[in-house]
Structure 1
Amino acid sequence: MRLIHTTLFAAMAALGLSACNKPADTTAPATPAADTAPVADTAPAADAPPAMMSSDAHANTSAVAELAATQGNAVKGNVTFSLVDGKVHVKGQVSGLKPNSEHGFHIHEKGDCSAPDGASAGGHFNPSKEDHGNVATTPHHGGDIPNLKADAQGNAVVDADVSTNVNIGKGDDFDIIGRGLIVHADPDDYKTQPTGNAGARLACAVIKPAP
Structure 2
Amino acid sequence: MSIHKIAALALTLGLSAGAMAQAPDIATLSAPVVGNQGQTIGTANFQGGAHGTVVRIALQAGALTPGWHGIHFHSVGDCADTAKFEASKSHVNHSQKKHGLLNPDGPDEGDLPNVFAAADGSVNAEVSSPTLLKGAKGLQDADGSALIIHANADDHHTQPIGGAGARVGCAVIK
> Shorter-chain TM-score: which interval?
0.7 to 0.9
Matches within 5 A, 1:1-211: 61-71=27-37, 76-83=41-48, 86-95=51-60, 96-99=63-66, 101-115=67-81, 116-134=83-101, 139-162=106-129, 164=130, 166-170=131-135, 172=136, 174-177=137-140, 178-208=144-174
CA contact (8 A) 1:113 1:120 kept: yes
CA contact (8 A) 2:53 2:128 kept: yes
- Do the aligned partners of residues 138 and 94 (structure 1) sit closer, same or farther apart at CA in structure 2, a change above 3 Å counting? farther
Task: Provide the rounded CA distance (Å) in 2 between the counterparts of 1:76 and 1:69.
Answer: 6
Bigger Rg, structure 1 or 2 = 1
Q: Please list the CA deviations of residues 60-91 of structure 1 after superposition, one character each: whole Å capped at 9, or x if unmatched.
A: 622232111114x8772211111368331111
Deviation of 1:138 (Å): 6.5
CA contact (8 A) 1:75 1:203 kept: no
Q: Please list the CA deviations of residues 86-115 of structure 1 after superposition, one character each: whole Å capped at 9, or x if unmatched.
A: 33111131231123x111111101111122
Deviation of 1:156 (Å): 1.2
Deviation of 1:187 (Å): 0.5
Q: Please list the CA deviations of residues 115-162 of structure 1 after superposition, one character each: whole Å capped at 9, or x if unmatched.
A: 231111111111111111118987211111111101121111121111
Q: Please list the CA deviations of residues 31-53 of structure 1 after superposition, one character each: whole Å capped at 9, or x if unmatched.
A: xxxxxxxxxxxxxxxxxxxxxxx
Task: Provide the rounded CA distance (Å) in 2 between the counterparts of 1:112 and 1:75.
Answer: 15
**Greater fraction of residues in strand:** 2
CA contact (8 A) 1:81 1:91 kept: yes
Task: Provide the rounded CA distance (Å) in 2 between the counterparts of 1:160 and 1:107.
Answer: 12
Alignment partner of 1:146: what SS?
A: coil
Task: Provide the rounded CA distance (Å) in 2 between the counterparts of 1:135 and 1:127.
Answer: 19
Residue ranges of structure 2 left out of the alignment (5+ in a row): 1-24
Give the letter aligned to residue 112 of structure 2.
I
The root-mean-square deviation of aligned C-alpha atoms, in Å, is 2.4
Task: Provide the rounded CA distance (Å) in 1 between the counterparts of 2:76 and 2:84.
Answer: 14
Deviation of 1:182 (Å): 0.8
- Do the aligned partners of residues 159 and 135 (structure 1) sit closer, same or farther apart at CA in structure 2, a change above 3 Å counting? farther
TM-score by length of 1: 0.61
Residue ranges of structure 1 left out of the alignment (5+ in a row): 1-57
